[in-house]
Amino acid sequence: MLYLASGILFFLALFIFFFTDFFYELIEIGSIWVRELFGGFYLWLGLLCVLFLIYIAFSRFGKIKLGNSPPEFNRLSWIAMLYSAGMGSGILLRAVQEPVFMFLNPPIETSSTSEVIALEYTFYQWGFTAWAFYGIFALLIAYSLFVRKSDILLGTSLPQLKRIKYLPEGVNLLTILTTVFGLVAAIGLGTTQIEGGISHLTSTHAGTLWVIVLLVFIICFVAFISAFAGIKKGLNHSALQVQRFFY
């Protein structure tokens, strides 16, 4: 599975490199098609995830502990890691930029004012709904890891998937690809933020190709060191340092 995903990503990277404009047009067309076809489904799915987790939290199931070991990190560490690794680069820019963009470019035509639509979309994408999506996946992985004592692959977290041949492998492949796509988007967004900050502080346009490549290399190098050091010495330590720096 790893080799197949690596091969797909390698050839996709080559295709994007040599046919950048064409791929950009494909992404734009695909994005519009997905929003038109699955937009309503996505909204309802987000609402159902929020309601489902609220039910789990306040029902008898919310008192069930997954596993017997004590929490590895305290709440401060978890909060720091959630915001540093989960929404760090996005929340610094998009959570502020998005309501302004939605106000100037309303995504839908309704009787509500542009201000209301902008805030509704921002609350939806940065509020409980996003965390509900994270929470559903976290429950699946935690149950598989701490209760069933199996691996954390999403395809094996749901035993029902094994009834259909090749479906678990397909789910795992899709999970790998979407995770990489999400990381690429986060790195790209973080790079543009850093480049924009450098340009603002130095009153120059620092966004040359080599500057952007250098920033991407630095971000990837720091992420590699953090991952190699492990969660306790890597991500936890760096997240707490970031929190202390800003607060």
In a domain, 34, yes or no: yes
What is the Cα–Cα distance from 82 to 41, expressed in whole angstroms?
A: 27
State the average pLDDT over residues 125-151.
82
Residue 109 in this model has a pLDDT that exceeds 80:
no
Return the pLDDT at 194.
79
Task: List the structure tokens of 1.
Answer: 């599975």
Q: What percent of the chain has pLDDT over 70?
A: 89
User: Are 75 and 128 found together in one domain?
Assistant: yes
Confidence (pLDDT) at 48: 94
Report the pLDDT value the prediction gives residue 206, as an integer from 0 to 100.
59
The reported pLDDT for the residue numbered 54 is: 94
- Domain of 41? 1-63
User: b vs e for 28-41, b when ≥16 Cβ sit within 10 Å of the residue's Cβ?
Assistant: eeeeeeeeeeeeee
CA distances from 23 to 14, 18, 34, 188 (A): 11, 9, 16, 16
Closest by CA to 155, choosing from 174, 135, 179, is 174
Q: In whole angstroms, what is the distance from residue 98 CA to residue 63 CA?
A: 37
Distances (CA, A) of 55 to 45, 63, 132, 137, 239: 15, 12, 12, 16, 31
Do 49 and 94 lie in a common domain?
A: no
Are residues 90 and 142 both part of a single domain?
A: yes
Question: Within a domain: residue 199?
Answer: no
- pLDDT > 90? residue 50: yes
Residue 49's pLDDT is what? 93
Q: What is the pLDDT of residue 55?
A: 93
What are the backbone dihedrals phi and psi of residue 71, each rounded to the nearest 5 degrees, phi first?
A: -60, 135
- Domains of the chain: total: 2
